[in-house]
Amino acid sequence: MQLRITSRKKLTALLCALGLISIVAIYPRQTVNFFYSTAVQITDYIHFYGYRPVKSFAIRIPASYTIHGIDVSRWQERIDWQRVAKMRDNGIRLQFAFIKATEGEKLVDPYFSRNWQLSRENGLLRGAYHYFSPSVAAPVQARLFLQTVDFSQGDFPAVLDVEERGKLSAKELRKRVSQWLKMVEKSTGKKPIIYSGAVFYHTNLAGYFNEYPWWVAHYYQRRPDNDDMA
């Protein structure tokens, strides 16, 4: 009986291994992306517990950092910017805000104008970002962003948020991203910042646009390693 059970376990393990090999052979890129994504999320989740809870902010914050800021959009609705500027906790305060301005072809964040004005009036450094839609021509998106955002001296450079490629290949996506970056840089006189998630960056953008500043997000609040920008 013991021999049969052991043999059955070995057969099951062999079948699982063969199944995994078949999946890797058929979907190599998707499999690599899955395991990389899983590894990043597990590592990020472990690092998350190294962050100190800040009661007045109601989130965990890397206390060893000297500069802290927020990323806002319509999902935060009407923000009390006076209160944001006054938030203090054990020497930690918010010093800047990145504010969503536009998305795709026509979408303008309904709170952008208010957030853009009041964040500056209350002493925060500010930056505006555009969420890139892969299905819309890059010049159309760049024009929408430039028509919406009125940059002033002291503002951060424009930010392009790239998180999806839709039906485009990675090469086609990079071509459109490049068009947006060049148009906005020509108009503003500053190189835009590129925002993306760590996994999306590695699978679609790594090794390109090295002349631009990068903002690579880790959604479980892990401090990025140097390898993230290799």
| 99 and 149 part of one domain | yes
Q: What is the CATH number of the domain that holds 142?
A: 3.20.20.80
- At residue 38, the pLDDT reads 54
* CA 225 – CA 71 distance, rounded (Å): 21
| pTM for this entry | 0.74
- DSSP strand pairing (92-93 vs 96-103): unpaired
Shortest CA distance to 105 belongs to which of 149, 82, 81, 137? 137
Residue from 103, 163, 185, 211 carrying the catalytic annotation: 163
Residue 57, in any domain of the structure: no
103 and 26 share a domain?
no
Which residue ranges of the chain lie beneath pLDDT 50? Answer: 1-3, 24, 40-41, 44-46, 48-49, 221-224, 226, 228-230
Q: What is the structure's pLDDT at 170? A: 96
pLDDT for the residue numbered 3: 46
What's the pLDDT score for residue 224? 47
Same domain, 188 and 136: yes
Domain span holding position 7: 2-45
Residue 53 lies in a domain: no
211 as an active site residue: the answer is no
Instruction: Please write down the long-range contacts of 102-105, taking CB distance under 8 Å and 24 or more positions apart.
Output: 102/130, 102/131, 102/141, 102/144, 102/145, 102/148, 102/149, 103/130, 103/131, 103/133, 104/131, 104/132, 104/133, 104/135, 104/136, 104/141, 104/144, 105/133, 105/136, 105/140, 105/141, 105/144
| 131 lies in the same domain as 180 | yes
Taking only the tens place, the pLDDT of each residue in 3-21 is: 455 566 565 665 555 555 5
Is residue 86 domain-shared with residue 116, that is, in the same domain? yes
Domain count, the chain: 2
